[in-house]
């Protein structure tokens, strides 16, 4: 995208400054002065309430991203796409997920984007990513509380790599749905022994989320599974407190 086409990023009186900022972004690297990017910061902030303005900024940022800028510039672009991005930037961000240098900023941006496309891209990436990048993508699905990914994450619980399986357990706990609760309970009962502490912690997180969202019976079932004597002391203690919370929640329901 030419500098002239980026002038719409800001009001007319500041359009030249915006062109200069995009040029600075293309050359941005570790140690570069940050001041030249301030107009882009301002443009993103001012565009947030305006879908049309967000789309123009997104297109300009993607044009720079396609020119394969420095990792520092990629990190900056991804941080701004997290704010103004849409489905239009998902494929470009997904293409970076396998890049050890740029994977984290791209994943962080996808994590923040609205809509199903970002979640779908993260799920599809799981079969292609190496260990560290795969674990990161799994954690991002948890952060998105993406209920549609529970099936894929449940399968990953069987992964022989403890880090990957533990990341899947954590993501299921963060999602906190009845379906993820079922997967975690089954893994606690039948999964690898080395994974049990991670699954137990994930179940506590899942139960807390279920209770907070009004799914008391599902939360109680998880806490009861974790209150047994074969669990670690901190898990039993947390489960006991959770059961007290379930009882308190029930007492607050009229007619119970």
Q: What residues contact residue 226 under an 8 Å CB cut-off, 6+ apart? A: 200, 203, 204, 207, 235, 236, 238, 239, 242
Whether residue 8 is predicted with pLDDT greater than 50 in this model: the reply is: no
pLDDT at 242: 94
pLDDT at 251: 54
Whether residue 13 is predicted with pLDDT greater than 70 in this model: the reply is: no
pLDDT at 253: 52
**What digits encode the pLDDT tens for the residues 184-201?**
999 999 989 999 999 999
Better pLDDT: 114 or 251: 114
DSSP string, 35-99: GGGHHHHHHHHHHTT-HHHHHHHHHHHHHHHTT---HHHHHHHHHHHHHH--GGGHHHHHTTTT-
Whether residue 9 is predicted with pLDDT greater than 60 in this model: the reply is: no
Sign for the CA dihedral angle at 215, 246, 166, 87 comes to positive
**What confidence category does residue 252 fall into, taking pLDDT thresholds of 50, 70 and 90?**
low
Whether residue 14 is predicted with pLDDT greater than 80 in this model: the reply is: no
Sign for the CA dihedral angle at 72, 78, 79, 80 comes to positive
Residues 85/117, Cβ–Cβ less than 8 Å: no
Mean pLDDT of the 203-224 span: 95
């Amino acid at each position: 995208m030419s500098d002239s086409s980026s002038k719409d990023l800001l009001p007319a009186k500041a359009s030249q400054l915006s062109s200069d900022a995009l040029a600075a972004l293309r050359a941005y690297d570790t140690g570069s002065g940050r001041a030249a990017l301030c107009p882009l910061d301002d443009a993103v902030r001012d565009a947030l309430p305006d879908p049309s303005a967000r789309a123009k900024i997104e297109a300009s940022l993607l044009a720079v991203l396609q020119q394969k800028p420095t990792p520092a510039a990629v990190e900056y672009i991804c941080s701004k796409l997290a704010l103004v991005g849409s489905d239009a930037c998902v494929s470009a961000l997904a293409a970076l997920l396998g890049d050890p240098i740029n994977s984290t900023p791209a994943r962080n941006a996808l994590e923040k984007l609205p809509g199903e496309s970002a979640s779908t891209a993260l799920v599809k990436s799981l079969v292609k990513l190496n260990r560290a990048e795969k674990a990161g993508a799994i954690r991002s699905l948890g952060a998105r509380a993406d209920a549609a990914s529970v099936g894929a994450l449940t399968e990953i619980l069987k992964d022989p790599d403890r880090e990957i399986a533990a990341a899947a357990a954590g993501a299921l706990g963060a999602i906190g749905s009845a379906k993820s609760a079922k997967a975690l309970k089954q893994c606690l009962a039948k999964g690898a022994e080395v994974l049990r502490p991670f699954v137990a912690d994930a179940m506590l997180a899942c139960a807390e989320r279920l209770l907070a969202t009004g799914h008391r019976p599902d939360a109680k079932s998880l806490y009861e599974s974790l209150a047994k004597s074969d669990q670690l002391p901190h898990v039993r203690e947390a489960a006991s407190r959770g059961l007290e919370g379930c009882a308190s929640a029930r007492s607050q329901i009229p007619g119970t």
